Structure 1
Amino acid sequence: MIAAPPPMIALAIAIVCEVIATSTLPKTEQFSQPLPTIITLVGYGIAFFFLSVAVKTVSIGVAYAIWCGAGIILVALISWLWHGQQLDTAAVLGITLIMAGTIVINVFSKSVSH
Structure 2
Amino acid sequence: MGYLLLAGAIAAEVAGTTAMKYSEGFSKLVPSLVTVVGYLVAFYLLAQTLKTIEVGTAYAIWAGIGTATIASIGMLFLGEAVNAAKLAGIVLVIGGVVLLNTGGAH
Normalising to structure 2: TM-score of the pair?
0.91
| Range with greater deviation from structure 2 (73-82 or 9-18) | 73-82
Q: Does the residue aligned with 1:58 lie in a helix, a strand or coil?
A: coil
Deviation at 1:106, TM superposition (A): 3.2
Deviation at 1:107, TM superposition (A): 4.1
Partner of 2:44: 49
Normalising to structure 1: TM-score of the pair?
0.86
Find runs of 4+ consecutive structure 1 residues off by over 3 angstroms. Answer: none
5+ long unaligned stretches in structure 2: none
| Counterparts of 1:107 and 1:60, CA distance in 2 | 15
| 1:33 maps to which of 28, 33, 36 | 28
5+ long unaligned stretches in structure 1: 1-5
- The alignment covers a number of residue pairs equal to 106
Q: Deviations over 1:28-59 (max 9, x none)?
A: 11111000001110000000000000011211
Deviation at 1:108, TM superposition (A): 4.6
| Range with greater deviation from structure 2 (66-75 or 100-109) | 100-109
| Counterparts of 1:60 and 1:54, CA distance in 2 | 9
Give matches, 1:1-114, under 5 Å.
6-110=1-105
